[in-house]
Protein backbone atom coordinates (compact mmCIF):
# COMPACT_ATOMS: atom_id res chain seq x y z
CA UNK A 1 0.00 0.00 0.00
CA UNK A 2 2.88 2.32 0.72
CA UNK A 3 4.22 1.80 -2.80
CA UNK A 4 0.75 2.39 -4.25
CA UNK A 5 0.44 5.65 -2.31
CA UNK A 6 3.85 6.74 -3.53
CA UNK A 7 2.89 6.06 -7.14
CA UNK A 8 -0.43 7.90 -6.78
CA UNK A 9 1.25 10.78 -4.97
CA UNK A 10 3.90 11.10 -7.67
CA UNK A 11 1.20 10.93 -10.35
CA UNK A 12 -0.74 13.69 -8.59
CA UNK A 13 2.34 15.91 -8.46
CA UNK A 14 3.06 15.11 -12.11
CA UNK A 15 -0.49 16.13 -13.10
CA UNK A 16 -0.17 19.41 -11.22
CA UNK A 17 3.19 20.08 -12.85
CA UNK A 18 1.80 19.30 -16.31
CA UNK A 19 -1.20 21.58 -15.69
CA UNK A 20 1.07 24.41 -14.55
CA UNK A 21 3.29 23.87 -17.58
CA UNK A 22 0.29 23.86 -19.92
CA UNK A 23 -0.86 27.19 -18.47
CA UNK A 24 2.58 28.81 -18.45
CA UNK A 25 2.28 32.54 -19.03
CA UNK A 26 4.40 34.72 -21.27
CA UNK A 27 7.01 36.91 -19.61
CA UNK A 28 6.05 40.57 -19.20
CA UNK A 29 9.56 41.84 -19.85
CA UNK A 30 9.11 44.18 -22.79
CA UNK A 31 9.97 41.56 -25.39
CA UNK A 32 8.60 42.16 -28.89
CA UNK A 33 6.22 39.38 -29.89
CA UNK A 34 5.24 38.76 -33.52
CA UNK A 35 2.54 36.23 -34.49
CA UNK A 36 2.62 34.46 -37.86
CA UNK A 37 0.45 31.81 -39.48
CA UNK A 38 0.28 29.71 -42.61
CA UNK A 39 -3.44 29.01 -42.47
CA UNK A 40 -2.95 25.76 -40.55
CA UNK A 41 -0.60 26.65 -37.71
CA UNK A 42 0.02 29.84 -35.76
CA UNK A 43 3.36 30.72 -34.17
CA UNK A 44 4.52 33.41 -31.76
CA UNK A 45 8.06 34.69 -32.18
CA UNK A 46 10.23 36.97 -30.10
CA UNK A 47 12.29 39.63 -31.85
CA UNK A 48 15.85 39.31 -30.58
CA UNK A 49 18.17 42.30 -30.40
CA UNK A 50 21.78 41.35 -29.64
CA UNK A 51 24.74 43.76 -29.89
CA UNK A 52 26.71 43.46 -33.15
CA UNK A 53 24.13 41.03 -34.59
CA UNK A 54 21.23 41.93 -36.93
CA UNK A 55 17.78 41.50 -35.31
CA UNK A 56 16.31 38.03 -35.73
CA UNK A 57 13.20 36.05 -34.75
CA UNK A 58 13.20 33.27 -32.16
CA UNK A 59 10.11 31.04 -31.89
CA UNK A 60 8.40 30.94 -28.49
CA UNK A 61 5.25 28.92 -29.12
CA UNK A 62 3.43 27.09 -31.89
CA UNK A 63 -0.29 26.28 -32.01
CA UNK A 64 -2.23 23.94 -34.25
CA UNK A 65 -4.97 26.02 -35.83
CA UNK A 66 -5.55 29.32 -37.59
CA UNK A 67 -5.67 32.18 -35.07
CA UNK A 68 -5.53 35.89 -35.81
CA UNK A 69 -5.97 39.27 -34.13
CA UNK A 70 -3.52 38.22 -31.41
CA UNK A 71 -2.79 40.51 -28.49
CA UNK A 72 -0.62 40.16 -25.39
CA UNK A 73 -2.48 40.90 -22.16
CA UNK A 74 -0.29 42.68 -19.55
CA UNK A 75 -2.80 41.94 -16.79
CA UNK A 76 -2.50 38.14 -16.85
CA UNK A 77 0.44 37.59 -19.28
CA UNK A 78 -1.55 35.43 -21.70
CA UNK A 79 -2.08 36.06 -25.41
CA UNK A 80 -5.64 36.31 -26.75
CA UNK A 81 -6.94 35.81 -30.28
CA UNK A 82 -9.85 35.00 -32.57
CA UNK A 83 -10.06 31.47 -33.97
CA UNK A 84 -10.60 32.00 -37.68
CA UNK A 85 -13.89 30.91 -39.28
CA UNK A 86 -15.54 30.78 -35.84
CA UNK A 87 -16.95 33.21 -33.28
CA UNK A 88 -14.56 31.94 -30.58
CA UNK A 89 -12.12 33.93 -28.43
CA UNK A 90 -9.01 31.96 -27.44
CA UNK A 91 -6.43 32.20 -24.65
CA UNK A 92 -2.87 31.12 -25.52
CA UNK A 93 -0.27 29.95 -23.02
CA UNK A 94 3.47 29.73 -23.59
CA UNK A 95 3.70 25.94 -23.92
CA UNK A 96 1.70 25.56 -27.14
CA UNK A 97 -1.68 25.10 -25.44
CA UNK A 98 -4.91 27.05 -25.91
CA UNK A 99 -8.18 27.52 -24.05
CA UNK A 100 -11.36 28.49 -25.88
CA UNK A 101 -12.82 30.88 -23.34
CA UNK A 102 -16.03 32.04 -25.00
CA UNK A 103 -18.19 32.58 -28.06
CA UNK A 104 -19.52 35.88 -29.37
CA UNK A 105 -23.29 35.82 -29.71
CA UNK A 106 -23.66 38.80 -32.07
CA UNK A 107 -22.22 36.94 -35.08
CA UNK A 108 -21.70 33.38 -36.25
CA UNK A 109 -18.24 34.16 -37.62
CA UNK A 110 -15.86 36.85 -36.42
CA UNK A 111 -14.00 38.51 -39.29
CA UNK A 112 -11.04 39.81 -37.36
CA UNK A 113 -7.39 40.19 -38.33
CA UNK A 114 -6.55 42.99 -35.89
CA UNK A 115 -6.42 42.79 -32.11
CA UNK A 116 -4.63 43.95 -28.97
CA UNK A 117 -5.15 44.19 -25.22
CA UNK A 118 -5.55 47.31 -23.11
CA UNK A 119 -3.30 48.13 -20.17
CA UNK A 120 -6.08 47.11 -17.77
CA UNK A 121 -6.59 43.70 -19.36
CA UNK A 122 -9.42 44.06 -21.89
CA UNK A 123 -9.13 42.27 -25.23
CA UNK A 124 -10.10 44.36 -28.25
CA UNK A 125 -10.46 43.19 -31.85
CA UNK A 126 -11.70 44.85 -35.04
CA UNK A 127 -14.37 42.98 -37.01
CA UNK A 128 -14.16 44.17 -40.61
CA UNK A 129 -17.58 42.71 -41.42
CA UNK A 130 -19.30 44.68 -38.68
CA UNK A 131 -16.88 47.65 -39.01
CA UNK A 132 -16.67 47.70 -35.22
CA UNK A 133 -14.18 47.38 -32.42
CA UNK A 134 -15.34 44.65 -30.02
CA UNK A 135 -14.21 44.94 -26.40
CA UNK A 136 -14.12 41.86 -24.15
CA UNK A 137 -13.52 41.05 -20.51
CA UNK A 138 -11.23 38.01 -20.72
CA UNK A 139 -9.56 37.96 -17.30
CA UNK A 140 -12.60 37.71 -15.02
CA UNK A 141 -15.85 36.40 -16.50
CA UNK A 142 -15.84 36.30 -20.30
CA UNK A 143 -18.15 39.01 -21.61
CA UNK A 144 -18.58 41.30 -24.59
CA UNK A 145 -18.50 44.75 -22.99
CA UNK A 146 -18.72 47.16 -25.92
CA UNK A 147 -19.28 47.46 -29.66
CA UNK A 148 -17.58 50.58 -31.04
CA UNK A 149 -18.46 51.78 -34.54
CA UNK A 150 -15.58 53.54 -36.29
CA UNK A 151 -15.88 56.73 -38.32
CA UNK A 152 -13.50 59.02 -40.15
CA UNK A 153 -12.27 62.21 -38.52
CA UNK A 154 -14.48 64.92 -40.10
CA UNK A 155 -11.40 67.12 -40.57
CA UNK A 156 -9.75 64.43 -42.73
CA UNK A 157 -10.22 63.95 -46.51
CA UNK A 158 -12.69 61.13 -45.75
CA UNK A 159 -16.18 61.29 -44.32
CA UNK A 160 -18.66 58.90 -42.77
CA UNK A 161 -18.32 55.33 -41.55
CA UNK A 162 -14.87 53.75 -41.49
CA UNK A 163 -14.89 50.61 -43.66
CA UNK A 164 -11.22 49.96 -44.37
CA UNK A 165 -9.90 46.54 -43.46
CA UNK A 166 -7.37 46.59 -40.62
CA UNK A 167 -4.74 43.87 -40.29
CA UNK A 168 -3.53 44.88 -36.84
CA UNK A 169 -3.37 47.75 -34.36
CA UNK A 170 -1.45 48.50 -31.18
CA UNK A 171 -2.31 50.61 -28.15
CA UNK A 172 0.02 53.52 -27.43
CA UNK A 173 1.93 52.71 -24.20
CA UNK A 174 2.02 56.43 -23.35
CA UNK A 175 -1.70 56.97 -24.02
CA UNK A 176 -3.70 53.78 -23.61
CA UNK A 177 -6.81 55.44 -25.07
CA UNK A 178 -5.19 55.65 -28.51
CA UNK A 179 -4.39 52.82 -30.93
CA UNK A 180 -2.33 52.97 -34.12
CA UNK A 181 -3.02 51.05 -37.31
CA UNK A 182 -2.41 51.19 -41.07
CA UNK A 183 -4.59 51.43 -44.17
CA UNK A 184 -3.04 49.07 -46.71
CA UNK A 185 -1.16 50.72 -49.55
CA UNK A 186 -2.86 48.52 -52.16
CA UNK A 187 -6.55 48.12 -53.01
CA UNK A 188 -8.11 45.57 -50.63
CA UNK A 189 -11.54 45.53 -52.33
CA UNK A 190 -12.98 46.74 -49.02
CA UNK A 191 -14.49 50.01 -50.13
CA UNK A 192 -11.79 52.01 -48.34
CA UNK A 193 -11.12 55.49 -49.75
CA UNK A 194 -8.04 55.65 -51.99
CA UNK A 195 -7.11 59.12 -50.73
CA UNK A 196 -5.67 57.70 -47.49
CA UNK A 197 -4.32 54.44 -48.90
CA UNK A 198 -0.94 53.74 -47.29
CA UNK A 199 -1.58 56.03 -44.31
CA UNK A 200 -0.93 55.35 -40.67
CA UNK A 201 -4.11 55.71 -38.62
CA UNK A 202 -4.86 56.94 -35.11
CA UNK A 203 -7.97 55.43 -33.50
CA UNK A 204 -9.69 57.09 -30.55
CA UNK A 205 -10.63 54.35 -28.06
CA UNK A 206 -11.29 56.60 -25.07
CA UNK A 207 -14.53 55.16 -23.69
CA UNK A 208 -15.43 58.52 -22.13
CA UNK A 209 -14.74 60.63 -25.21
CA UNK A 210 -17.50 62.04 -27.44
CA UNK A 211 -15.18 61.13 -30.32
CA UNK A 212 -14.95 57.45 -29.36
CA UNK A 213 -14.28 55.47 -32.53
CA UNK A 214 -12.87 58.37 -34.58
CA UNK A 215 -10.12 57.42 -37.04
CA UNK A 216 -7.60 60.10 -37.99
CA UNK A 217 -5.17 59.60 -40.92
CA UNK A 218 -1.57 60.41 -40.07
CA UNK A 219 1.63 60.11 -42.09
CA UNK A 220 1.48 58.36 -45.45
CA UNK A 221 4.07 55.63 -46.05
CA UNK A 222 5.77 55.42 -49.43
CA UNK A 223 4.37 52.28 -51.15
CA UNK A 224 7.84 51.62 -52.56
CA UNK A 225 8.90 50.92 -48.99
CA UNK A 226 5.81 49.35 -47.37
CA UNK A 227 2.43 48.26 -48.74
CA UNK A 228 1.18 46.04 -45.90
CA UNK A 229 1.62 46.06 -42.13
CA UNK A 230 -0.07 43.12 -40.42
CA UNK A 231 1.61 43.03 -37.03
CA UNK A 232 2.16 46.05 -34.75
CA UNK A 233 4.04 46.18 -31.46
CA UNK A 234 5.62 48.85 -29.24
CA UNK A 235 8.96 48.28 -27.51
CA UNK A 236 9.75 49.42 -23.92
CA UNK A 237 11.04 52.75 -25.29
CA UNK A 238 7.67 53.39 -26.99
CA UNK A 239 9.06 52.84 -30.48
CA UNK A 240 6.57 51.28 -32.90
CA UNK A 241 7.35 48.31 -35.12
CA UNK A 242 5.29 46.67 -37.85
CA UNK A 243 5.65 43.29 -39.54
CA UNK A 244 4.63 43.35 -43.18
CA UNK A 245 5.66 43.66 -46.81
CA UNK A 246 6.63 46.00 -49.62
CA UNK A 247 5.11 43.73 -52.30
CA UNK A 248 1.95 44.37 -54.32
CA UNK A 249 -1.36 42.53 -54.17
CA UNK A 250 -4.11 41.93 -51.64
CA UNK A 251 -2.21 39.33 -49.62
CA UNK A 252 1.51 39.30 -50.49
CA UNK A 253 4.22 37.46 -48.59
CA UNK A 254 4.66 39.48 -45.39
CA UNK A 255 7.97 38.63 -43.78
CA UNK A 256 9.77 41.89 -42.95
CA UNK A 257 10.02 43.90 -39.74
CA UNK A 258 9.95 47.70 -40.02
CA UNK A 259 10.39 50.46 -37.48
CA UNK A 260 7.58 52.96 -38.02
CA UNK A 261 6.99 56.62 -37.24
CA UNK A 262 3.17 56.91 -37.28
CA UNK A 263 3.10 60.71 -37.40
CA UNK A 264 5.65 61.20 -40.18
CA UNK A 265 5.00 57.96 -42.06
CA UNK A 266 8.71 57.15 -41.95
CA UNK A 267 9.83 53.50 -42.00
CA UNK A 268 13.09 51.59 -41.77
CA UNK A 269 13.43 47.88 -42.52
CA UNK A 270 14.92 45.98 -39.57
CA UNK A 271 14.91 42.35 -40.75
CA UNK A 272 13.53 39.95 -43.33
CA UNK A 273 12.74 36.32 -42.56
CA UNK A 274 12.19 34.34 -45.76
CA UNK A 275 10.25 31.50 -44.12
CA UNK A 276 7.61 33.48 -42.25
CA UNK A 277 4.46 35.31 -43.16
CA UNK A 278 1.75 37.25 -41.38
CA UNK A 279 -1.77 36.70 -42.77
Please tell me the distance from the alpha carbon of residue 140 to that of residue 122, in angstroms, as a whole number: 10
Listed in order, strand segments (DSSP E) in the chain are 32-37, 41-50, 53-64, 67-72, 79-83, 88-92, 98-103, 112-117, 122-127, 132-137, 143-149, 151-152, 169-172, 175-182, 199-204, 214-220, 228-234, 240-245, 256-261, 266-272
Q: Domains in the chain and their CATH numbers?
A: 2-32+67-272 (2.120.10)
Model confidence band, residue 10 (pLDDT cutoffs 50, 70, 90):
very low
Evaluate whether 30 touches 72 at the Cβ level (below 8 Å): no
pTM of the shown model:
0.87
- Model confidence at 229: pLDDT above 70: yes
Q: Name, in order, each residue with C-beta under 8 angstroms of 10's C-beta and a sequence gap of 6 or more.
A: none
Please tell me the distance from the alpha carbon of residue 40 to that of residue 237, in angstroms, as a whole number: 34
Q: Name, in order, each residue with C-beta under 8 angstroms of 195's C-beta and a sequence gap of 6 or more.
A: 157, 158
For residue 53, the cross-strand partners are: 50
Per DSSP, the residues of 200-214 read: EEEEE--TT-TTTTE
Q: pLDDT by residue (tens digit) across 191-216?
A: 788 899 999 999 999 999 999 999 99
Which 3 state secondary structure label does DSSP give 51?
Answer: coil
Question: Of 34-43, 145-154, 182-191, 218-227, which range is least confident?
Answer: 182-191
Evaluate whether 119 touches 109 at the Cβ level (below 8 Å): no
Distances (CA, A) of 169 to 102, 132, 178, 192: 22, 13, 10, 17
Q: pLDDT by residue (tens digit) across 36-91?
A: 888 889 999 888 777 777 777 788 899 999 999 999 999 999 999 999 999 999 99
Res 114: pLDDT: 96
**Can you give the three-state secondary structure of 6-44, one letter per residue?**
HHHHHHHHHHHHHHHHHCCCCCCCCCEEEEEECCCEEEE
Q: pLDDT by residue (tens digit) across 93-150?
A: 988 899 999 999 999 999 999 999 999 999 999 999 999 999 999 999 999 999 999 9
Amino acid sequence: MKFRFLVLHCFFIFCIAMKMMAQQRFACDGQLLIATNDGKNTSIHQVKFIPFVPPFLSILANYQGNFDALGFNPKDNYVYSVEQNTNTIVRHSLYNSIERIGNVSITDTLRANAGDCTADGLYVCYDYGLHKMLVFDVTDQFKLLREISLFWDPTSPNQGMFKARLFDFAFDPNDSKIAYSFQAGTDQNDGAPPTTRGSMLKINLDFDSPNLGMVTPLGKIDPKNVTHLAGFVFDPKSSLYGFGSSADGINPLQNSLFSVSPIAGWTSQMLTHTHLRVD
